[in-house]
Amino acid sequence: MKQLVINGNKELKGEIKISGAKNSIVALIPAAILSDDKVSLYNVPNISDTKALLDILDLLNCEYKYDNEALEINTKKIKNKVIEEELSKKLRASYYFMGALLAKFKQVEIYFPGGCNIGSRPIDFHIKGFEKLGAEVTIDGNKYTFKAKKLKGANIYLDFASVGATINIMLAAVKAEGKTTISNAAKEPEIVNVATLLNSMGAKISGAGTSEIKIEGVNHLSAGVIDVIPDRIEAGTYIIAGALVGNKLRISGIIEEHVEALLSKLKEMGVKLECTGDSIVISKSKRYKPINIKTLVFPGFVTDLGQPVSVLLTQADGMSIFEETIFENRMGHVKYLQKMGANIRVNDRTAIIIGPAHLKGKEVVATDLRAGAAMVLAGLVAKGTTTINNIEHILRGYENIVEKLQNVGADIKIVEVE
């Protein structure tokens, strides 16, 4: 078993370069199999979620070369196979093979996806979308079978602007006959990244990044190329680290408008930020104002940064309120922040945080990926040693987290224990 051990309260100085986005690459790999040729992806993060999807490509007999953040996928020998539970449950994004295989082979057999335990996370919008396109769906326990004689474009309205459903329906519709319109589509930057790859392969998608996406079906998709966008959640996590313990900590390789909501809230707290092109320089201030944060769909405050930012709220002078509106259960980290000395009360999806707290290092648990990121941030600011268990969650989404933090002065390491 691996643990992360952090000796906290060390100043962070220097530069952290942001990697390619987890929530993009996990959709870009399934999207690539729609090509009948080679697809080249650059800036591919080396995280365990990438590896889990490459394992699915292996199962499908799909060839690829992954070297130095460049991934070349060649679909010429791909075969349709049942995606067993052992592979599907490793991550949420295995469900993008539903849309991709349905478009490619008109039949998919796959088990329910895994992913962070942050709520019930149903996939009913995805299924309704596939049905509207003409697929028949059979559910047998955890096993989902989708079959279609042919897929036909349709008007699909999403009850909620779901990231996963928007991408999955886009994947399924890209080769359907005729026009598909997705209304109340999600607008997250990762959706634009996937549409850009598909269009480079010959798809006809317009409106990605707005709430109405239009897709004109095509028969064939050829070679494609894409740069994975920078990970806005990784960037946000390190920006928060800068506000906690930074001394001119530079976070580089970001797209500022993707982290706009976070920057705006940090400025409201009094965090010192200097934005220059694709970098942000952050230094810790002595005092922070308490603020209220409510998570929303893009371009609102992203749910994935709610847990990390709540660590910073423990350092503000007075009462802050953090409200989670997207998932039912984004409070797994609170119990461990309390153990470290934070004054937090949780009422359903709202946390009331009273600061400033003098956090002390303790043994804690990463209950999910972003709860794990929150524990790392708490460990960086706490006095003494923080030991984090279940770090597999963290390694799913943060490339080289230990090296990146060590390089800017953190005392952090991974240890193997029995």
Residues at the contact surface with ligand EPZ, assessed by CB under 6 A: 22-23, 26, 92-93, 116, 119, 121-126, 160, 162-165, 186, 188, 303-304, 326-327, 369-370, 397
Which residues lie closer than 8 Å to 58 by C-beta, 6 or more apart?
none
Residue 21 or 281: the one with the smaller Cβ distance to ligand EPZ is: 21
Report the residue number whose CB is nearest to ligand EPZ. Answer: 164
Which residues lie closer than 8 Å to 127 by C-beta, 6 or more apart?
137, 144
- Strands 224-227, 38-42: pairing kind: parallel
Closest by alpha carbon to 161, among 297, 339, 11, 364?
297
As beta bridge partners, residue 20 has 230
Minimum CB separation of residue 284 from ligand EPZ in Å reads 25
Residue 236 or 290: the one with the smaller Cβ distance to ligand EPZ is: 236
Q: 211 and 185 in contact (C-beta within 8 Å)?
A: yes
Active site residues: 116
Residue 2 or 121: the one with the smaller Cβ distance to ligand EPZ is: 121
Minimum CB separation of residue 48 from ligand EPZ in Å reads 13
Residue 233 or 316: the one with the smaller Cβ distance to ligand EPZ is: 233
Residue 158 or 357: the one with the smaller Cβ distance to ligand EPZ is: 158
DSSP string for residues in 328-374: S---TTHHHHHHTT-EEEEETTEEEEEE----B--EEE--SHHHHHH
Q: Residue 215 in 3-state DSSP? A: strand
Minimum CB separation of residue 10 from ligand EPZ in Å reads 26
Q: In the Cβ-directed half-sphere of 220, how many Cα atoms lie within 13 Å?
A: 4
Q: 53 and 79 in contact (C-beta within 8 Å)?
A: no
Distances (CA, A) of 192 to 143, 213, 303: 30, 10, 19
Minimum CB separation of residue 73 from ligand EPZ in Å reads 19
